[in-house]
Amino acid sequence: MMRTLRALLFALVAGGMLCGNALAADKLIVASDPTWPPIEFLDAQKNVVGFDPDYITAVAKEAGLSVEVRNIAWDGIFAGVGAGTYDIVASGVSITPEREKAFDFTIPYYTVHQIVVTRKADSYADFASLKGKTIGGQIGNTGIRVAEKAKSGATIKEYDDVGLAMQDLLNNRIDAVICDSPVALYYANKKEGFNDKLRIAFHTPEGESFGFVVRKGRKDLVEKLNKGIEAVRAKGIEKELLAKWLGE
């Protein structure tokens, strides 16, 4: 997910004001912004839950580490890991060249595509088939740019929240929604009240890869997490988590 990078500048500054090595502690602190279900969100008891918290916990266990996932707002999440306040960011962070200049990343653990969701009764195979229709999406999300670039002749309608777009799709106010694949899969496969009425129509071939973020220079931690990711895949744990949260 290409969420705003406005915190990146602060992180670069904070990177020079490190306050100790949290890896030496018994428990690593993981920062996650729980505003993007099913990747990360708050349950009824205000616990941070979702695909990322489960995945990083499983990775840590396989790597012989212990983690505590905390609710950290996106605006301060990069500055915090840069300053050593948190050890890891696990919050649907896309690996980009700009971010790699400031932080170290693990190997990718999930690849996001843009998916178009429609009502089950409708049949759209590509952007061309949506000519004259209305495609909804979240303001600032990659999906909006992809839909505009397709030049399909469809009307693009932007929403403050992708959930509002999904609700309008359900109520026949728009014809399709484009969004990141985890969100699309969640609504089409898992979310009650939506999963029996919506379907995945098609997805774009281009993707963005998620990685876990650590402070620049923490190659030791990156190596341990990479081994954990490889073990989670080899043992089938990743497949179980995908089924649990995304219905894949």
Residues 91 and 97 sit within 8 Å (Cβ to Cβ): no
Residues 63 and 228 sit within 8 Å (Cβ to Cβ): yes
Question: 98 or 19: which carries more pLDDT confidence?
Answer: 98
pTM: 0.79
Q: How far apart are CA 29 and CA 20, in angstroms?
A: 13
Q: How far apart are CA 62 and CA 227, in angstroms?
A: 8
Residue 49, strand partner residues: 41
Per residue in 142-194, pLDDT (tens digit) is: 899 899 999 999 999 999 889 999 999 999 999 999 999 999 999 999 999 99
Domain range list for the chain? 8-109+211-246, 112-207
Residues 12 and 81 sit within 8 Å (Cβ to Cβ): no
Q: How far apart are CA 24 and CA 27, in angstroms?
A: 8
Per residue in 43-101, pLDDT (tens digit) is: 999 999 999 999 999 999 999 999 999 999 988 999 999 999 999 999 999 898 999 99
Q: Which fold has domain 112-207?
A: D-Maltodextrin-Binding Protein; domain 2 (3.40.190)
* Residue 186 per-residue DSSP state: I
Question: What pLDDT does 58 receive?
Answer: 98
- When the candidates are 3.10.50.30, 3.40.190.10, 3.30.460.10, 3.30.56.10, the CATH number that belongs to 8-109+211-246 is 3.40.190.10
